[in-house]
Structure 1
Amino acid sequence: MRTVLQRVSSAQVVVDGEVVGAIGPGLVALVGVTHDDGPAEVATTARKIAGLRLFPPGDEGGERSVLEVGGEVLVVSQFTLYADVRKGRRPSWNAAAPGPVAEPLVHAVAEALRADGVGVATGRFGADMEVTIVGDGPVTIVLDVPAVGSLA
């Protein structure tokens, strides 16, 4: 599972002129799924998103997580994170899991974050989405969660 996290002041997803998901300060999580991903990758990805210390220190010192600052997460499916552009000029999407595999896993990441107490909004899987991101920082992190057998 590959996720690009961006710290934001606000973000929203629009589909067919309708806002389907919006957040204030927090993180946008663009989530890509590959063929070998499953529940273990979902759990690790959600735990990392909720716990990474990507926000400035508070009065008590030390950087804080989205949970600690009361931020929200906008989860957006992003199969293009698995584009292979090593050959030619046309990306290959072979490493991206097909929709019936990826959709429940992206949904599970959002649900796991909610279960951890994070406010979550989502895009609409498979839709042509307009994603507006007002970056804060800039802070952008690529989070790769390998197959379970290779987790350290």
Structure 2
Amino acid sequence: MRAVVQTVSEASVTVGGEVVGEIRDGLLVLLGVTHTDDEAVAAKMARKIWDLRIIDGEKSASDLGAPVLVVSQFTLYGDARKGRRPTWTAAAPGPVAEPLVNAVVTALREHGAVVETGRFGADMYVASVNVGPRTVLLEL
């Protein structure tokens, strides 16, 4: 599982002109799932995101009760080492990935996070204003 985590002053996800998720002063998480991921990896990723000390003053979202916007992102497993066209074979297919993205969201909520989401499989437009900028790649 891979996640790109950014500190944001604001972030939103729009699908078909409708805002489906938005936060202020929190974390934007782009989340990718691969074939070998499972519920245990999802739980570990949620804990890592929630406790990651990436916010001003080495604070975490858990320290501040900061909201989290989770957006599924299979392209985090794109491989463009050969040629000019990426391959997506390392990304888990939707029926495998969607429940694991949902498991991360559920685990974050169980830790006390206020979580907004995109819409799995939709053509999403993600807008954000990065703070810092602080962007970290997590890989489990």
Query: Which category describes the TM-score, using the shorter chain as reference length?
Result: over 0.9
Deviation of 1:15 (Å): 0.3
Letter of the 2:119 partner, please give it: R
TM superposition outliers: structure 1 runs of 4+ over 2 Å: none
For the pair shown, which has the larger CA radius of gyration, 1 or 2? Answer: 1
Q: Are residues 1:78 and 2:73 paired? A: yes
CA contact (8 A) 1:55 1:69 kept: no
2: distance between equivalents of 1:91 and 1:25? 33
* TM superposition shift of 1:50: 0.3
Contact kept in structure 2, 1:77 and 1:106, CA below 8 Å? yes
| Equivalent in the alignment of 2:115 | 120
Asked if the contact 1:22–1:74 (Cα under 8 Å) also holds between the matched residues in 2, the reply is yes
- CA RMSD in angstroms, aligned pairs only: 0.6
Query: Does 2:100 correspond to 1:102?
Result: no
Q: How many residues are paired up?
A: 140
Is 1:10 the counterpart of 2:10? The answer is yes
Question: Structure 1: which 5+ residue stretches go unaligned?
Answer: 58-62, 146-152
Distance apart, 1:143 and its partner CA: 0.0
Give how far 1:65 is off.
0.6
The C-alpha deviation readout for 1:18-71, integer Å capped at 9, x for no partner, is 0000011110110000000001110110000000111122xxxxx211011121
Aligned to 1:150: none
Shift of the alpha carbon at 1:2?
A: 0.4
1:142 aligns with 2:137: yes
**2-side partners of 1:70 and 1:24: how far apart?**
12
Instruction: State the identity as a percent.
Output: 61
Give the alignment's TM-score, normalised by structure 2.
0.98
1:68 aligns with 2:57: no
Superposed CA deviations along residues 77-102 of structure 1, whole A, max 9, x for unmatched, are: 00000001011001000000000000
Question: What residue in structure 1 maps to residue 39 of structure 2?
Answer: 39
Distance 1:4 1:55 in 2: 14
